[in-house]
Amino acid sequence: MKLSLLKRRPETVTPDEAPTCPHVALVPRWEVAADIGHEDRVSEFRCDSCGALFSPGEARALRRSEGERIESSLGTTASPDDADADAPA
């Protein structure tokens, strides 16, 4: 007899409900071990959150728009004045 309590029911997520990844945790990957550490020799970038792969050009574009994507995924927009309000006088 198998215990059904130990089985987890798979969660069903429709494509419309699936959260979009902001791709902010990009990890560089190199084809040759000798190239490790050289940013100009990266062969691809992997998103640590969702596993998507990006070319170096795509990763540069994602890094440029990183702040906007994070704000939109959180549903907030911060203005420079808000940061000054939290700082001690």
How many helices (H) and strands (E) the chain has is answered by 3, 3
Whole-number pLDDT of residue 84: 54
pLDDT of residue 72: 75
In a domain, 67, yes or no: yes
Domain-located, residue 87: no
Tell me what pLDDT residue 45 has: 94
User: What's the rounded Cα separation, in Å, for the pair 47 and 55?
Assistant: 11
The reported pLDDT for the residue numbered 66 is 80
| Residue numbers of the domain that contains 65 | 22-75
The pLDDT value recorded for residue 44 is 95
What are 17's two structure tokens? 């409900």
The answer to the question of residue 88 being in a domain is no
User: In this structure, what DSSP letter does residue 11 have?
Assistant: P
Is 29 contained in some domain? yes
Angle ∠(33,21,37) on CA atoms, nearest 5 = 20
Question: In this predicted structure, what is the pLDDT of residue 56?
Answer: 93
Q: How many separate domains does the chain show?
A: 1
Tell me, what's the pLDDT at 27?
94
pLDDT the model gives residue 23: 84
Alpha-carbon distance 49 to 61, whole Å? 18
Within a domain: 11: no
Low-confidence ranges of the chain (pLDDT < 70): 1-19, 76-89
Distance, CA of 20 to chain centre: 9
The pLDDT, as a whole number, for residue 71 is 78
Residue 16 lies in a domain: no
